[in-house]
Amino acid sequence: MTLTLDAGQLAARFGSVFGSAPDGVWQAPGRVNLMGEHTDYNEGFVLPFAIDRTARVAVRLRPDSAVRLLSTFGNQGLTTADAGSLVGGTAKGWTKYPLGVLWALQQRGLPVRGLDLLLDSDVPRGAGLSSSHAIECAVISALNELTGAGLDTQEMVLATQRAENDFVGAPTGIMDQSASLRGAAGHALFLDCRDQSVRLVPFDAESAGLVMLVIDTKVSHSHAAGGYAARRASCELGAAALGVRALRDVGPGDLEGAGGRLDPVTFRRVRHVVTENERVRQTVALLDSTGPGAIGPLLDASHASMRDDFEISCPELDLAVVAARSAGAVGARMTGGGFGGSAIALIPATAEQPVRAAVERGFAAAGYPAPAIFRVRPAAGAVRLA
Ligand code: GAF
């Protein structure tokens, strides 16, 4: 999926498809998570950043309740729906995201209203970079403004979470939409998922002579599939057995005592979440004090925890991490919900070509399809373009 159209071109294409100009064009980014995986729904800490890959929507409200949706990619063609009779679990492909947002806004009391929408995006789909939230955040930004709904960012985060959980059917947390709505160039977002408080933490790898590479394994994942929900259920089981509201309330010092109260699998799931929350805090402290070059060991430890304790990695992700590290990365880890998707590797700029070559060689030798490898930088969150 490649972004081919700027805002003016997208508006012009909208005009030729739907017969007149859109009311506006909005953009929202995908995200990479630097640290803090599967901690958000445990009311813990995360440290994602919005990336320089975006979804863009040209939107016009309609006087009736008809909804017409089209994208510049894929072969889904024009999708039509009635805003007055949206039912979760029935929409197909990418259209479930704008329809889910419309539905979630209606659940908050927004009047039923139709719209025409044209989508363009260069966030790779199924790659663990939150292409779905990029669409949802672009759409909610557009509808919030056009309908005068007046939601603040926190409310938009919760509305898109409701769209994901109850319309799309993916029991996800609040990390991805928070990054997409609140991201800022040159910064990662330190988010406390209990109270949604945030702090922007400088993360400028390139001024430190480093590059952040995404390695998209092309192993497609879906959070509406069973693995994500099973991990979430394990965490809830662990919290209940330990008598806490959420695993956020378990500290590293509690782990020894927890061992005797949990079955071995639940204990390992809990240990991942508890240690991952600590790694988020340690990463933030290192970024504040020393800079990006110091966080490599934490990236590595996070990957090991996801591979061994949370068991959400896969052979392709493990290979990407090992190959990147052996060719000079200062640290690497899978990013996102897991079971496929992408790894990130923080590397000295001078090691970029060796790392790319090592990963490509490793994938070819293992007989895996070639990965997509590209640089990412922390970028701005959702914005109106035209
Ligand atoms: C997915 C979810 F959408 C997030 O809420 C988060 O749980 C993440 O997986 C894992 O950290 O991206």
Cα–Cα distance for residue pair 368/356, rounded to 1 Å: 15
Would 51 be classed as within a structural domain?
A: yes
The H-assigned helical ranges of the chain are 7-18, 96-107, 131-147, 153-162, 175-182, 226-242, 255-258, 264-289, 296-305, 315-326, 352-366
Would 283 be classed as within a structural domain?
A: no
The CATH number covering residue 105 comes to 3.30.230.10
Please name the residue whose Cα sits nearest to atom 1 of ligand 1. 337
| pTM assigned to the model | 0.97
Phi, psi torsion values for 147, nearest 5 degrees: -90, -5
Residue 30 domain boundaries: 7-200+380-384
Q: Is 40 in the pocket of ligand 1 (CB under 6 A)?
A: yes
Q: Is 175 in the pocket of ligand 1 (CB under 6 A)?
A: yes
Q: Is 35 helix (H, G, I), strand (E, B) or coil?
A: strand
Ligand 1 center–CA 132 separation, angstroms: 11
Q: How many domains does the chain have?
A: 1
Ligand 1 center–CA 28 separation, angstroms: 17
Would 114 be classed as within a structural domain?
A: yes
Would 64 be classed as within a structural domain?
A: yes
Phi, psi torsion values for 332, nearest 5 degrees: -155, 150
What is the full per-residue pLDDT of the chain (386 aa) written as tens digits? Answer: 455 799 999 999 999 999 999 999 999 999 999 999 999 999 999 999 999 999 999 999 999 999 999 999 988 899 999 999 999 988 999 999 999 999 999 999 998 889 999 999 999 999 999 999 999 999 999 999 999 999 999 999 999 999 999 999 999 999 999 999 999 999 999 999 999 999 999 999 999 999 999 999 999 877 767 899 999 999 999 999 999 999 999 999 999 999 999 999 999 999 999 999 999 999 999 999 999 999 999 999 999 999 999 999 999 999 999 999 999 999 999 999 999 999 999 999 999 999 999 999 999 999 999 999 999 999 999 999 99
Would 310 be classed as within a structural domain?
A: no
Among candidate residues 119, 134, 116, the one with its CA nearest the CA of residue 80: 116
Q: Is 120 in the pocket of ligand 1 (CB under 6 A)?
A: no
